[in-house]
Amino acid sequence: MNVEQLLRRYANGERDFEDAKFHDTDVLEDADLRGINLRRAELTGVDLSGCNLQDAVLEEAILFDARLDKADLSRANLRKANCQQVSLSEAILIEADLEGAILAEAYLDGANLQNANLQNAVLDEASLAGANLQGATVEEAELGGCFKSKTVMPDGSVLSDWEEE
């Protein structure tokens, strides 16, 4: 299936695209894909910047090196998704379920993760500059080496890796 087929089928009311495969040359930028089921989909390197993915199912999806800058993933299910090196700058992930997701080396600069579930997620070496994690669940999450600059933590405190003068 190619991008045009997906968009046509979605426009006709289909929502189940479980196990779909797309490539790094595919662009779905700014598409409205609310409620889409992309469980176990392979989306390595795909450009989903600005997409509306509210309530989407991306559980166990492979999003390695994908671009989701400014995408709206509110209430999306990303459990156990491979989001390594994904770019989620300024993305909206309010109440998103990222339990067990791999976000190592991800770019979450300016992302809104308020009330998101990051339990058991791997965020090693991720960039969280300006991210908002207020109210997020981070129990058992791996946050080793995360870059923080004006990052709002789950308890509302603001942290930076260095003292600003």
Q: Judge whether 1 lies within some domain.
A: yes
- Contact by Cβ (8 Å): 134, 157: no
- Is position 43 within any domain? yes
Q: Is residue 164 part of a domain?
A: no
Q: Give the structural domain span for 112.
A: 1-159
Q: Which amino acid is at 88?
A: L
**Average pLDDT over the chain, rounded to whole?**
95
Which tokens in the block code for residue 44?
């390595």
State the CB neighbour count (10 A cutoff) for residue 165.
3
**Whether residue 78 has pLDDT greater than 80:** yes
In a domain, 118, yes or no: yes
Assigned domain for 16 exists: yes
Residue 40 lies in a domain: yes
Q: Residue 3 maps to which CATH number?
A: 2.160.20.80
What's the mean pLDDT in 51-66?
98
Whole-prediction pTM value? 0.94
pLDDT higher than 70, residue 163: no
The string of pLDDT tens digits covering residues 87-127 is 999 999 999 999 999 999 999 999 999 999 999 999 999 99
CA separation for the pair 95, 101 (Å, rounded): 14
- What's the domain count of the chain? 1
Mean pLDDT (whole number) for 60-80 = 98
